[in-house]
Amino acid sequence: MGLRGLDRRHVPPGARRGARRARQHPGLGAVRQGVAGVTAVAAPPRARAGAVEAALRSWLARRLLLGVAQTAAVVLLVFALTEALPGDAAVALAGDQPDPARIAAIRTELGLDRPAAERFADWLLGLLHGDLGTSLASGRPVATYLADGFGPTLLLAAITVVLLVPAGVGLGVLAARRAGSLADRLVSSATLAVYAVPEFALGVLLATLFALRLGWLPPTAVGFGGDLLAHPAVLVLPVLVLLSRPVCSISRLVRAGMIDALRSPYVRQATRYGLSTARVRYLHALPNALAPAAQQLARTVDWLLCGVIVVEALFVIPGLGTVLMNAVAERDVPVVQGLAVVFGVIAVVLNLGADLVARRLAPRAGVAA
């Protein structure tokens, strides 16, 4: 028996299996091979799955507690800010020439003469029971104002989000695929220019061009009633204004994430394994590029809750934004408080959902709680 046969006979069986796996999968062998030719022992799959599940449960518990704290902060901040608003609801309700006695009677009737802490406790107790309060101007429950304006606002936001995802992701992927080319420069320059234009100015510009000059679209929703779906032309300009800035931010995030992902070691390793370019790009690089975009999408929906107020006021759409502006003008504090709390809770829930989606898309990124 020669020296070569003697060496082969005395090689431990574990080392033979490790060397065979290393030849079949070079990347796997490089990871599992020890420093002195000893194969490292990998953790059992069940143990790894248990550790990942425990880490996810711990992260989710921390994130839920943070969401509860954020909701409490929103409630407290809304009450404090509405208390700091200038003016007096009793004076606004007393008429053009208010009488001091009438103002005092209104304040007593509405409970405005009570201490702020006592009114906050009553309002918080009502929130915990699902009661958003009663309008000072009309005596109607605040929930009815939400029901009246929720439909148009939800329609605008839903159409915007449905169009935002393919438009933003598509532009970002297009620019990343041709990084440095003319198409990339055109997309980057256009998105930067549009992002710099305020929503109100863009809305006035679009209404002037397409409604007043060309006559292609109606300038406002006046005369079309509350059923906006029956008149889709009314929705074109508001949706374009709402889409402008979010599409720019999402596309730029996706572009940067795709370029980084395509230059990463795991993508190069997947390419060396013989995977097709399309599979590497869309199944390996794109999910990691979408993780920050998912969080930006939640912040975009937060922005929509504010931007829709400007858009609804500009195009006279009877949604929640119009209801909120009317309540501020009338100093109708319960309506302002109810709408602000609803907007704040929606923002907290959306951010929690975005963090979950981002962690699912890129678990190695470790989304901060």
pLDDT at 38 over 70: no
The pLDDT tens digits for 107-124 are 787 777 778 888 888 888
Taking residue 159's Cβ as centre, other Cβ atoms within 10 Å add up to 19
The verdict on residue 58 lying in a domain is no
CATH of the domain at 342: 1.10.3720.10
Average pLDDT for 19-38: 42
Going by the DSSP 8-state scheme, the letter that residue 260 receives in this structure is H
> Confidence class of residue 44 from pLDDT cuts 50, 70 and 90?
low
By 3-state DSSP, what share of the chain in percent is helix, strand and coil, each rounded to 5? 75, 0, 25
List of residues 6+ apart from 124 with CB closer than 8 A: 75
Q: Is 228 within 8 Å of 152 (Cβ atoms)?
A: yes
Q: Is residue 26 domain-shared with residue 155, that is, in the same domain?
A: no
pLDDT of residue 256: 80
- Answer whether residue 218 shows pLDDT above 60: yes
- Other C-beta atoms lying within 10 Å of the C-beta of residue 94: 19
**Do 14 and 147 fall into the same domain?**
no
**Whether residue 160 sits in one domain with residue 290:** yes
For 296-340, write each residue's pLDDT tens digit.
776 777 677 777 878 888 888 888 888 888 888 777 888 888 888
Average pLDDT, the chain: 75
Residue 316 lies in a domain: yes
Q: What mean pLDDT comes out for the span 182-209?
A: 85
**pTM for this structure?**
0.66
Average confidence (pLDDT) over 255-261: 78
- pLDDT for 247: 86
217, part of any domain: yes
Residues spanned by the domain of 12: 3-32
Q: Locate all alpha helices (DSSP H) within 264-319, ordered by sequence.
A: 265-272, 277-279, 286-315
pLDDT at 139: 80
State the average pLDDT over residues 196-215. Answer: 86
Amino acid residing at 182: L
Which candidate, 261, 188, 265, places its Cα nearest to that of 31? 265
Q: Is residue 87 part of a domain?
A: no
* 68-78 pLDDT per residue, tens: 898 888 889 88
Residues 27 and 167 in one domain: no
Residue with the two structure tokens 């104002």 = 145
- How many domains are there within the chain? 2
**pLDDT score at 32:** 38
For 123-165, give the DSSP string.
HHHHHHTT---B-TTT--BHHHHHHHHHHHHHHHHHHHHHHHH
What is the rounded CA–CA span in Å between residue 360 and residue 232? 36
pLDDT, average across residues 19-46: 45
303-332: burial string, b at 16+ Cβ within 10 Å, e else: bbbebbbbbbbbbebbbbbbbbeebbebbb
pLDDT band (50, 70, 90) for residue 225: low
Chain segment 127-137, per-residue pLDDT in tens: 888 888 888 77
pLDDT at 304: 75
Predicted confidence band of residue 249 (pLDDT cuts 50, 70, 90): confident
The pLDDT assigned to 226 comes to 65
Query: Per-residue pLDDT averaged across 56-60, rounded?
Result: 80
203 is a domain residue = yes
Q: Is residue 52 part of a domain?
A: no
Domain membership of residue 126 (yes or no) is no
Half-sphere exposure in the Cβ direction for 300 (13 Å, CA): 28
| pLDDT at res. 199 | 81
Q: Of 49 and 356, which is predicted with more confidence?
A: 356
Mean pLDDT of 243-265: 81
Residue 328: inside a domain: yes
The gap between the terminal CA atoms of the chain, to the nearest Å, is: 64
- The DSSP secondary structure of 169-208, one letter per residue, reads HHHHHHHHHTTTSHHHHHHHHHHHHHHTS-HHHHHHHHII
> CB neighbours of 340 closer than 8 A, spacing ≥ 6?
74, 78, 81, 82, 324
